[in-house]
Amino acid sequence: MEYKVNAEIVALGAYVPERILTNDDLSKIVDTNDEWIYSRTGIKERRISRDDEYSSDLAIKAVENLISENNVMLEDVDFIIVSSISPDYYTPSMAALIQGAFSIKETGSLDINGACSGYVYGLQLAFSLISSGQYRKILLVTTDVLSKIVNYEDRNTCVLFGDAATATLVQHTDIQQDCISFSGTDGVLGKELYCSAISPTIKDHEIATKHVLVQNGRTLYTFVTRNIAEIINNLFANNDKLSKEKIDFFVPHSANMRMLNKLCENTGFSESQLLSSLEYNGNTSSNSIPLALYEAHKDKLLKKGNTLFLIGFGGGLSYAGLIFKL
């Protein structure tokens, strides 16, 4: 869907835990090694939270980083959106915890559970809520401590995931721009990637392992490299205004480098267009896209006016895309 937006990203922040878990460290836990992991995933390291460090702790530090590095104020933030699949509690929400931590008055708060699509869903919401005139300044936070819900006896999953948090400040602008967003879900495939909570079954299938991430890597690889690739190609084929050559940066969810390379191959995006946060952070769920943006900003790769194509995909199974200018 193409629509007009009066919103822009004005600041980015991030935080990753101090502890580094290398591939060699993992080889002491499960039957694996550095060559096996890196050749299949593109991951060298991932960050792991302390035992007493939770998603809200990472989120607060990411917001503090946003404030300190960008010299911004949050007193007039009128809505907070948080994406997480590993919240501290069922309730209160993570967004409410962040509001309390920074004493932001008269602000709405909402958590979303979009998994690896969460940041793009959150940005779609922020752009739309601001462009509707209902809000003027939104704090979008992503945060997850996936290490606390990973099965470290399963070498196919434990090598992938890391912990992180990011903060994005989105606010109203008088300069209107065209934006393209799209999303979709195949809930039938939800059983291919889940972490249990209350129910003992998912889609009439018995939960395999409780309270840890369970995923079918082969199904997810096909979902992304075929289904998502087809969706992207159709999007450009059916819109005369769109050109892949005019996309400055293609920023898909950093799930697995082999998967991302195949996705680029199947869609025609070049290696120079691809932004990823995978190599030293692992798969950080909804953090991966904003973490890639944050790192690119720190490396002075991003410039005002760049055209970005963000696409998240994963748990649900869901996907969400957004094309806009910085």
Model confidence pLDDT, tens digit, residues 165-192: 999 999 999 999 999 999 999 988 888 8
User: Annotated catalytic residue: which of 23, 65, 116, 256?
Assistant: 116
Over residues 283-305, the mean pLDDT reads 97
CA 44 – CA 280 distance, rounded (Å):
6
Supply the pLDDT for residue 210: 77
Question: Domain extents for the chain?
Answer: 2-177, 179-325
User: Annotated catalytic residue: which of 65, 179, 195, 253?
Assistant: 253
**pLDDT grade, residue 115 (50/70/90)?**
very high
Supply the pLDDT for residue 201: 87
As its CATH architecture, domain 179-325 has: 3-Layer(aba) Sandwich (3.40)
Is residue 283 part of the annotated active site? The answer reads yes
Over residues 49-67, the mean pLDDT reads 98
| Type of residue found at 247 | I
pLDDT(326) > 80: yes
- The residues, any chain, with a CB within 8 Å of residue 229's CB and separated by 6 or more, are 263, 266, 267
Is residue 253 part of the annotated active site? The answer reads yes
Name which of 306, 297, 303, 247 is nearest 277 in CA terms: 297
Asked which of 68-72, 189-193, 289-293 is least confident by mean pLDDT, the reply is 189-193
Over residues 31-53, the mean pLDDT reads 95
| CATH of span 2-177 | 3.40.47.10
Supply the pLDDT for residue 171: 97
| Domains 2-177 and 179-325 fall in the same CATH topology | yes
User: Annotated catalytic residue: which of 23, 65, 256, 283?
Assistant: 283
